[in-house]
Amino acid sequence: MTAQMWVFVAYFCVVFAIGWYSLRATRGEKDYWIAGGELGWFTGGATMAATHTSAGTFVGTIGIMYTAGWSFGWVLLSIPLSYWFMVAVLAPRFTRQKELTIPAFIEKRYYGKGIRGLAAGIILVATVVYIQAQIVAGGLIANTVFGVPTSVGMVGFTAILLIYTVVGGMVAVVYTDAFQLVVMGLGALFAVPLALRQVDGLDGLLVLAESASPLVFTFDAVPEVLLLTMALSFFLGGIATPEKLIRLYAMKDMRTIRRGVLFAIIMILAINLLVFVLALAAIVLFPTLPTGDLAMPMVASAVLPATLGAVMLAAITAAMMSTVDSLLIVAGSALSVDIYQNLIDPDVSPERRKWVDRLGIVIVGSMPVALLVSGIGEGELVQFIVLLFTALMAAAFVLPVVGGILWRRATQEGAAAAMVGGVAATFAWEVVGTPDIEPVLCGFLVSGLLFVGVSLVTTPPPQAAIAPYFDDLD
């Protein structure tokens, strides 16, 4: 056993211990899917920040900054603004009636089981494919630390994730997220001073980065329209992705949500800014990498001593696992609650429901590995969905969710058209549009036009559907 392996074994032991503890705290479906709806600001905020921070933050973001320069960092500002919008505009009405899943909200507001199935289907496909991308990162880490083939690593990580998520549900996800957020913070906190020591401190870093890459501190390296549409993508993706919205149901009340989101914003900003500084260090220390995605692995292996390198790899693993476990809950509930119990077998007994719930997570958790091992996961369509996950979620759900609680005239047909049209337009832009404008802009605009247009020409919603969200205004 190397020191690296010990770091990882200790880390997995803590995660399993939390999962075991959560099993005893889970008494019913409400505990299993939304942690009982009673989370405080610390656990609620920590699980938001940990879910938000994925393997992409530590590998993809640093890679983009390595190639594009610091101006990309300004896109980060859209994240706190999107959380603020979510708390100030969306949450007060959205949380009046707690549901167990986001498609359940869609059914309540848009008075139909079919549209609930449509929402669950979009969530299921997009989420399973996105999990796959995160699992690939896990396979690479397992290969680095334990020397096993990447396919073994992918199966191993899937098994670890499934064990604690299936056993403990949302309670296990929330408490392991809090622990994994600490691991992420430690990894970033330890790495930055060590990287700075190699480049004569922060002042030295700024001078050296500018001489290594003259455009690094200018707004000329990336087209402004690309920065703005990237910011729009982060903003829209922040307010209506199901794994974020479900956490509004999981937290106790509005007062808790306001504090929890502030805590989440602080943690997300801190982790991202630390990672950004590491990107500058990579520009100075490794100026000629073939792709930006190698910047973080190079920092972890060449800048940090072995044990701290393992902590950094554990931080990337924690970012990956804390995102995937939340996606497993969202996709698992879409399959077992919104599709099976809602459309296929509504009369399922409570005892069997318990098993259906858990089986749903096992199925959606096994699909990404099955896709990868069978080779389907290498296909072009799959790669598209991974790239477009946030854009697809934003195009499909921002208008039905935000529009649904702000505009009482929104109808079932309008929401369905917005979901289908938004997804189709996002794909279409990726195929035929200019790469300087993110596809989310096209998807969002088409989704908006359909949402308003179709709602206006169809029958207004029944009073019972809009009453819960608009009652105090009448």
In the set 9, 159, 273, 306, which binds another protein (CB under 8 A)?
A: 273
Q: Taking CB under 8 A as the rule, does residue 42 contact another protein?
A: no
Q: Taking CB under 8 A as the rule, does residue 252 contact another protein?
A: no
Name the one range near another protein by CB under 8 A: 27-35, 128-136, 144-152, 260-268.
Answer: 260-268
Q: Taking CB under 8 A as the rule, does residue 95 contact another protein?
A: no
Least distance in Å: CB of 25 to another protein? Answer: 30
Q: Taking CB under 8 A as the rule, does residue 84 contact another protein?
A: yes
**CB-based contact 244:394 (threshold 8 Å):** no
Q: Taking CB under 8 A as the rule, does residue 10 contact another protein?
A: no
Q: How far apart are CA 422 and CA 427, in angstroms?
A: 9
258 or 353, CB closer to another protein? Answer: 258
Q: How many Cα atoms are found within 13 Å in the side-chain-facing hemisphere of 208?
A: 19
98 or 258, CB closer to another protein? Answer: 258
Instruction: Using CB under 8 A, count the residues that bind another protein.
Output: 24
Least distance in Å: CB of 287 to another protein? Answer: 18
211 or 307, CB closer to another protein? Answer: 211
**CB-based contact 65:215 (threshold 8 Å):** no
81 or 424, CB closer to another protein? Answer: 81
Q: Taking CB under 8 A as the rule, does residue 228 contact another protein?
A: no
Q: Taking CB under 8 A as the rule, does residue 258 contact another protein?
A: yes
Q: Taking CB under 8 A as the rule, does residue 13 contact another protein?
A: no
Least distance in Å: CB of 216 to another protein? Answer: 8
Site for another protein in 103-122 (CB under 8 A): none
Say how many residues make up the chain. Answer: 474
Q: Taking CB under 8 A as the rule, does residue 187 contact another protein?
A: no
Instruction: Say how many Å lie between the first and final Cα of the chain, rounded.
Output: 67
Least distance in Å: CB of 262 to another protein? Answer: 6
Least distance in Å: CB of 470 to another protein? Answer: 20
Q: Taking CB under 8 A as the rule, does residue 204 contact another protein?
A: no
Q: Taking CB under 8 A as the rule, does residue 88 contact another protein?
A: yes
Residues in touch with another protein (CB under 8 A): 70-71, 73-74, 76-77, 80-81, 84, 88, 206, 210, 217-220, 255, 258-259, 262, 265-266, 269, 273
